Structure 1
Amino acid sequence: MADNEPNWEWYRSFLQVLETGSLSAAGRALGLTQPTVGRHIDSLEAALGLKLFTRSFDGFAPTDAAQELRPYAAGIAATAAALRRAASSHGSGVRGTVRLTASEVIGVEVLPPILAALHSEHPELVIELMLSNRADDLLHREADIAVRMFQPVQEALVVKRVGGIELGLHAHERYLAARGMPNSMDALSRHAVIGFDHENAYIRRLQEKVPALSRDRFAFRADSDLAQLGAIRAGFGIGICQSALAARDKQLVRVLRSQFSLTMDTWIAMHEDLRASARCAVTFAALAAGLAAYIRAGDQG
């Protein structure tokens, strides 16, 4: 390995070439010229004493060494981004960038009005939102604050439970007008049911409790919760939806309320190192208050 320490820009170009498979595409993503990206890769290979890419018929193919280095380079990228967010917060008042992570439905359907109110109060606050439900986003510094539908158990986190979001079966009134209202879980076999495509541990437990919600009975299958919600709103059939979310749309009707109800715990977490950060503290508090209000609205629906 050469004595010169690799420049962060080299790692940045390395990650983009890994992602895109070509120097030109990486350059476009980074706002650099193709020769500049090529020089970064050459310099990184020389500094590490490794061959990171080989040319293939369709671009740059990563070597085994490149694949092994990928998570470390990604970690450097996450740390650099966290450093920039921390640096952006210095000055008077609440300012700077806060990076959030949340599941699809929460991030798209629930958080925007909460974040809009937060930004109205603190206009120098910049929000970055990542749709993800991975447990390790905070520890890898890929996000400052996470909204999770399970209790984060990793050490070094500040964690708060904000309540339980009820899930129920819902359908558009247009679908029910055409197909009728089921009067039992068994009657769902005569309806178009919306559900998952691939199983996971949570879904397997759900199927054990509610056999009527098995994959082979679904007329519409998608692993995206947003896609399932879209199908419910379009009148495709009956599916699981957050009750608080359905309460916002008078055309969505609760089905079999007394026979099907699940509660999804909702938690907010951030790395304990950010406890003293004003930008993170106000965002954490706003999320806690906003999500608690959202849950209460669902309870009253």
Structure 2
Amino acid sequence: MDNHIPDWHLFRAFLAVVREGSLSGAARMLATTQPTMGRQVAALEASLGVKLFTRSIDGLSPTEAGLRLIPSAEAMAAAAETAWRSTSGKADEARGTVRITASEMIGGEVLPLLLTGFHSLYPQISVELVLSNRNEDLLRGDADIAVRMVRPSQAALLAKRIGNIDAGLYAHQHYLKEHPMSLRPATTCIDRI
């Protein structure tokens, strides 16, 4: 482990690999080559004295040490972008890409109207909407924001309740004649965020 702090470009390479899941995807993202990305990640690992990724069928996955590094690397990226904006005269302009994941129902029915209004207020922010009924791993960089129906299990995430969704059960009267049901709803326990 080196005694000096690694250069920002090594952390930027690490973050790109986390977001893209591969060296080649990260290289495309940063407009460089796959071998360069590999060298930068290896240099960061050598400097920190830890292994940051493991190879799997799905690509590169952060190790425990890599997962612990993600929030700091993201803070560095945000600081670098803030520094760039403050010196380029764009300090008051919100810009960049935000990846939001939501279920197919919420993402297809609820978010489009909200995002249309958001886009008119912040035209320089590009929103990537990922529709999946899977709970994406925010710590792994699968998304920046998740709209979920359950509280996240990872303690490092900030959760905020944004609203209620009314749900109803409906049946045709012929079905109900053949399958009588209680008009009193069953008692259930729902975790409220």
Q: TM-score scaled to structure 2, two decimals?
A: 0.55
Aligned runs of 1:16-55 on 2, under 5 Å? 16=17, 19-20=21-22, 23-50=23-50
Match for residue 108 of structure 2? 108
Shift in CA distance, 68/147, structure 1 to aligned 2, threshold 3 Å = closer
Shift in CA distance, 158/34, structure 1 to aligned 2, threshold 3 Å = closer
Q: Confirm or deny: 8 A CA contact 1:27 1:33 kept in the other structure.
A: yes
How far, CA to CA, are the matches of 1:73 and 1:49 in structure 2? 13
Q: Which runs of 5+ in 2 are unaligned?
A: none
Shift in CA distance, 155/119, structure 1 to aligned 2, threshold 3 Å = same
1:216-238 Cα distance to aligned partner (Å, 9 max, x none)? xxxxxxxxxxxxxxxxxxxxxxx
Q: Equivalent residue of 1:183, what SS?
A: helix
Indicate yes or no: 2:175 matched with 1:183.
Answer: yes
Match for residue 7 of structure 1? 7
Higher strand share: 1
Q: Which has the larger radius of gyration?
A: 1
How far did 1:40 drift? Answer: 0.8
How far, CA to CA, are the matches of 1:73 and 1:185 in structure 2? 60
Q: Confirm or deny: 8 A CA contact 1:162 1:266 kept in the other structure.
A: no
1:141-167 Cα distance to aligned partner (Å, 9 max, x none)? x64x66443578989968455333224
Shift in CA distance, 112/84, structure 1 to aligned 2, threshold 3 Å = farther
Match for residue 220 of structure 1? none
Shift in CA distance, 149/167, structure 1 to aligned 2, threshold 3 Å = farther
Amino acid at match of 1:124: P
Match for residue 90 of structure 1? 91
How far, CA to CA, are the matches of 1:134 and 1:81 in structure 2? 25
Amino acid at match of 2:127: E
How far did 1:266 drift? Answer: 8.8
How far did 1:69 drift? Answer: 1.6
How far did 1:37 drift? Answer: 1.6
How far did 1:113 drift? Answer: 1.9
Amino acid at match of 2:70: A
How far did 1:84 drift? Answer: 6.5
Shift in CA distance, 169/126, structure 1 to aligned 2, threshold 3 Å = farther
Match for residue 166 of structure 1? 167
Q: Confirm or deny: 8 A CA contact 1:161 1:266 kept in the other structure.
A: no
Q: TM-score scaled to structure 1, two decimals?
A: 0.39
1:264-285 Cα distance to aligned partner (Å, 9 max, x none)? 9997xxxxxxxxxxxxxxxxxx
Indicate yes or no: 2:139 matched with 1:124.
Answer: no
How far did 1:260 drift? Answer: 8.3
Q: Confirm or deny: 8 A CA contact 1:98 1:126 kept in the other structure.
A: yes
Amino acid at match of 2:67: P
How far did 1:26 drift? Answer: 4.1
Q: Equivalent residue of 2:74, what SS?
A: helix
Indicate yes or no: 2:63 matched with 1:67.
Answer: yes
How far, CA to CA, are the matches of 1:30 and 1:185 in structure 2? 63
| Number of residue equivalences | 174
Q: Confirm or deny: 8 A CA contact 1:2 1:46 kept in the other structure.
A: yes
Q: Confirm or deny: 8 A CA contact 2:51 2:65 kept in the other structure.
A: no
Q: Which runs of 5+ in 1 are unaligned?
A: 171-179, 188-255, 268-301
Relative contact order (alpha carbons < 8 A, sep ≥ 6): 1 or 2 greater?
1
